[in-house]
Structure 1
Amino acid sequence: MTVSFVALGLDHRHIYGMTQHMRDTGATCLGYWTDGHPDTLDGFTKRFPELPQFDGLDAALNSGADLALVSAIPADRADLSIRAMQHGMDVMTDKPGCTTQDQLDDIKTCVAKTGRIWSINFSERFEVPCVTRATQLVQAGAIGKVVHTAGLGPHRLNRATRPAWFFDRTQYGGILTDIASHQIDQFLHFTGSDTAQIPHAMVANHANPNDPGLQDFGEISLRSATASGYIRVDWYTPDALPTWGDGRLTILGTDGYIELRKYVDVGGANGTDHLILVNGDRCEKIDARDAGLPYFQRLADDITHRTDTAMRQDHCFTVMELALQAQALAERTI
């Protein structure tokens, strides 16, 4: 079976990678629909000039596709995902997959009723080869039992290119719902935790007082039955950095640790996907660029065989539950 898919909503440039990675599995894109003319549309059509645009959303929903890729304005993703599932499609949505608890409850109800897959492309795990290699090392016992993760998600503001919804809390869902969902996903994944408690969460706007809807800093402390973690996210990446953010993850085990310098190694080696491994007999930096990105092929296989290998459905739900809980806690304590 060749998987077919449509792109619904092009408001975030993550749709570029989502589309390309699914095509790389051999899946066929039937076309795209988006509301209006977001700034990202020109970049999409430049990358994929051969893809047709549907006359409207109904045409896309009735295309017979197996999968919908959703990268609309965050507040609109839940509704598009639900409509796609009601039309018989599985869904891969950009993060955050939703922005409110009511939306998440509606998605859960729809998944239970339709039997469709609702998957979030946590790109800071699924589109980063060094995370693939770290997963392999952890599963092989290279650092013992994982007891802590520290995830840093700095981003460049790029104010001139940001649409109005980016500065509207009700549209993007808050910095912890949005960016920190990546790090929550990685905490649960690497510690093997089914869920977690959130003892502390905070958000702030330290540097952009003229944009009161923007949260430019956030942090979370996590605790599960077997591990703990810390998350810091922000919009402060300086212009001199050669990429959008110096994203890092440190995974602490009882027998060693792994540090991931995902996108840049300041003062070190060129390129991306730098993995540092230290344990009882190894102390080395590993170039992990060739580790692969298995999520997309696994999702294609799950669509075909109705399996659950790319990301467990309960894990996907739990990540968003915790992100929304953290956001709510942080805003209660401002």
Structure 2
Amino acid sequence: MSYRFAVIGCRHGHIARFIDEMQRMGHTCAGIYDAGDGSLARKLAEDYNVPYMNDVDALLEPSVQIVGTSAINNEKMDVVELCERHGKAVIADKPLVTDRAGLERLENVLKRGRIQVGLMLTERYRRSVLTLKRRIDEGALGDITEVAIRRPLKLYREYREPWFFSKTQNGGIIADLMIHDMDLLRWLTGEPIDELHAVAGKSILPEYPDFYDTANIQAVLGGRIAASLHADWHASEKGWAADGRLFVTGTKGCAEVRLSGDPAIAEEELLFTVYGEQRFQREELALAESGLCEDFIRRIEGAEHSGPSHTDLWEASKAVITADETARRLKINTEW
């Protein structure tokens, strides 16, 4: 079945993946709309040869069945609730919520069950992570005892809009970046998150008093698995990549994912494992059986899918909001 889709709220380039995947599957974009600064919306409309819209109502007509959004983070639930009122499935760039009030609004939408809501938890679709998931499910690593994820990213301050540095509008480093990690913890281990202990640090940009640039979280899953998460905005902008890593330790082996590869080996995602009779192995990466948008459409149609469910996006969102609320906050300069 062919769908018409639209973008309502366009303030982050991540939404290009939604447009690209939908068009590749043969679906038609009715247009892109943003109520504020429309510069990115205009650029993407030109890049993908789709209409730039000045009126959101045209994208709420019955002929449009699916909406994607990368609105300012604390405005995404406005788009979700708008889509609910008009009976349209909606998928959002992360994060979907930025605080407890947004989480409660999300909970209410999911409980009412009138529409399908999706979240672009794209890390699940990396070939390295998919292959790691398969090894875990096969039992190659034994019982999982520990997971560690490092997520250093490049700030590119000069390209960021002011809302990015606002805790109220953006949600902060834990909600914005570590939503991926909370989802991966549950997905890879199959266990719920029981405990969270977080620390956020501020060492730059005193002109933005509530912008924190590092975060560390210790977690316990299923009462038996320890997890350590780190995110920061300090990756060198001149460096070869934002060098994200994912480590899994089990009773029979271990694995390391290098999300951006290794400049000494290959500048593409890599998975290394040690288990069984293998001394050390660079894994051949599996191909994804489906894409992010393909899975979301299957969910809309009530078909079997491997993408995140309502429960998955709710649990990941709840985890980051809980961690953010309880985080100890440190400042390198106490006068800030």
Question: Against the structure 1 CA distance between its residues 3 and 142, is the aligned structure 2 distance closer, same or farther, given a 3 Å change threshold?
Answer: farther
CA distance in 1, matches of 2:79, 2:109: 12
Question: Against the structure 1 CA distance between its residues 239 and 88, is the aligned structure 2 distance closer, same or farther, given a 3 Å change threshold?
Answer: same
> What is residue 334 of structure 2 aligned with on the other side?
none
**Conserved? CA contact 2:156–2:237, under 8 Å:** no
1:45-56, aligned counterparts within 5 Å?
45-48=45-48, 50-56=49-55
The total of aligned residue pairs comes to 329
CA distance in 1, matches of 2:206, 2:289: 41
> What is residue 30 of structure 1 aligned with on the other side?
30
* Counterpart residue identity of residue 276, structure 2: G
1:211-250, aligned counterparts within 5 Å?
211-225=208-222, 226-243=224-241, 245-250=242-247
> What is residue 17 of structure 2 aligned with on the other side?
17
> What is residue 176 of structure 2 aligned with on the other side?
178
Report Cα offsets for 1:235-256 as digits up to 9, x if no partner: 001133223x111111222211
* Counterpart residue identity of residue 59, structure 2: A
TM superposition score normalised by structure 2: 0.91
Q: Does 2:248 match 1:251?
A: yes
Superposed displacement of residue 215, structure 1:
0.9
CA distance in 2, matches of 1:100, 1:88: 25
> What is residue 258 of structure 2 aligned with on the other side?
261
> What is residue 3 of structure 2 aligned with on the other side?
3
Return the match for 1:296 from 293, 298, 303. 293
1:1-334, aligned counterparts within 5 Å?
1-48=1-48, 50-126=49-125, 128-198=126-196, 200-225=197-222, 226-243=224-241, 245-266=242-263, 268-282=264-278, 283-288=280-285, 290-291=287-288, 294-305=291-302, 309-330=306-327
Q: Which moved more, 1:203-212 or 1:182-191?
A: 203-212
Superposed displacement of residue 156, structure 1:
0.5
- In structure 2, list runs of 5 or more residues that go unmatched: 332-336
Secondary structure of 1:196's match? Answer: strand
Report Cα offsets for 1:182-227 as digits up to 9, x if no partner: 11111111111133311x2011111332332311001111112231
Superposed displacement of residue 331, structure 1:
5.0
Secondary structure of 1:305's match? Answer: coil
CA distance in 1, matches of 2:185, 2:101: 24
Question: Against the structure 1 CA distance between its residues 208 and 321, is the aligned structure 2 distance closer, same or farther, given a 3 Å change threshold?
Answer: same
Question: Against the structure 1 CA distance between its residues 188 and 71, is the aligned structure 2 distance closer, same or farther, given a 3 Å change threshold?
Answer: same
Question: Against the structure 1 CA distance between its residues 91 and 8, is the aligned structure 2 distance closer, same or farther, given a 3 Å change threshold?
Answer: same
Question: Against the structure 1 CA distance between its residues 39 and 61, is the aligned structure 2 distance closer, same or farther, given a 3 Å change threshold?
Answer: same
Superposed displacement of residue 333, structure 1:
7.8
Question: Against the structure 1 CA distance between its residues 326 and 137, is the aligned structure 2 distance closer, same or farther, given a 3 Å change threshold?
Answer: same
**Conserved? CA contact 1:25–1:300, under 8 Å:** no
* Counterpart residue identity of residue 232, structure 1: H
> Percent identity between the aligned chains?
24
Secondary structure of 1:111's match? Answer: helix
Report Cα offsets for 1:11-61 as digits up to 9, x if no partner: 01101112212333333322211123355335413431x211233222222
Question: Against the structure 1 CA distance between its residues 25 and 131, is the aligned structure 2 distance closer, same or farther, given a 3 Å change threshold?
Answer: farther
- In structure 1, list runs of 5 or more residues that go unmatched: none
**Conserved? CA contact 1:205–1:215, under 8 Å:** yes
CA distance in 2, matches of 1:79, 1:183: 25
Secondary structure of 1:139's match? Answer: helix
* Counterpart residue identity of residue 27, structure 1: H
Secondary structure of 2:297's match? Answer: helix
| CA RMSD across the alignment | 2.1
CA distance in 2, matches of 1:221, 1:301: 35
CA distance in 2, matches of 1:93, 1:202: 27
**Conserved? CA contact 2:87–2:114, under 8 Å:** no
**Conserved? CA contact 2:33–2:41, under 8 Å:** no
Report Cα offsets for 1:147-197 as digits up to 9, x if no partner: 221111111010110100011111101110110111111111111113331
